Amino acid sequence: MATIKQLSLFLENKPGHLKAICGVLQEAEINIVTLSIADTEQFGILRMIIPDWEQARRVLEDKGFVVHANDVVAVEVDDKPGGMAQILNLLDQDQLNVEYAYAFTFRRRNSAVLIFRFNDTDEAVRTLTAAGRPLLAQADLLQALERE
């Protein structure tokens, strides 16, 4: 299935906690492609897209972090006004609810990649594929990044 892996970590709302995670990744020379942080009054959830997510998970778990991996949908669109709106229109037509979303760009390809978390990932993949929208798989992500 054309999805990519996202890693999530639990964050306490305390100074230095995000730094500790980045420090572990830095030491292992692991690059973060993009990230988002959900914050509540009490705690945060850090979500990251990392090409070699398995190695990242291993080094973080070795340091005692609880790491959750799950599938997210990555849609590549033109990096211009209306790129995201088109996709949201498609989702709206099929009444697919987005849990959360974030993005990053491929500079060379002048494109943006939208990361979506759906409650029903399979259904979302079917809808977007049927509409002819190319979805990135983990291998596509690796390939595109190598050319950046």
Partner 1 sequence: MMDEHWSDGDAPLHPASAPDFLPADQRRALQLHRLRSVVKRAYEHVDLFRARMKERGLEPDAVRTLDDLRHVPFTVKTDLRDTYPFGLFASPLSDIVRLHASSGTTGKPIVVAYTRRDMSVWTGVMARTFAACGVRAGDIVQNAYGYGLFTGGLGAHYGLEAIGATVIPISGGNSERQIMLMKDFGSTVICSTPSYFLHLIEQAAEMGVTLADLPLRAGIFGAEPWTEEMRQRIEANSGIRAYDIYGLSEIIGPGVASECSAQCGLHVFEDHFLPEIVDPETLEPLPDGETGELVLTTLSKEAMPMIRYRTRDITRLMPEPCACGRTIRRMVRVAARSDDMMIIRGVNVFPSQIEEALLRVEGTLPHYQIVLTREHDLDQMEVQVEVTPDVFSDQVKTMQNLRKKIEHTLASALGIRAKVSLVEPLSLQRSQGKAKRVLDKR
Q: Which residues contact 144 (CB under 8 A, 6 or more apart)?
A: 106, 109, 136
Residue 113, φ and ψ in degrees, nearest 5: -110, 120
Question: Does residue number 82 form part of the binding site for partner 1 (CB under 8 A)?
Answer: no
Per-residue interface string for the shown chain with partner 1, residues 118-147, x marking contact by CB under 8 A:
------------------------------
Out of 19, 23, 68, 94, which residue is the one contacting partner 1 (CB under 8 A)?
68
Long-range contacts of 80-83 (CB under 8 A, 24+ apart): 83/112
Out of 26, 31, 70, 110, which residue is the one contacting partner 1 (CB under 8 A)?
70
Contact call for residues 51 and 35 (beta carbons, < 8 A): no
User: CB of 145: closest distance to partner 1 in angstroms?
Assistant: 22
DSSP E strands in 58-110: the ranges are: 67-78, 98-106
| Interface with partner 1 (CB under 8 A) | 6, 8, 10-12, 17, 38, 40, 42-43, 45, 47, 64-68, 70, 99-100, 117
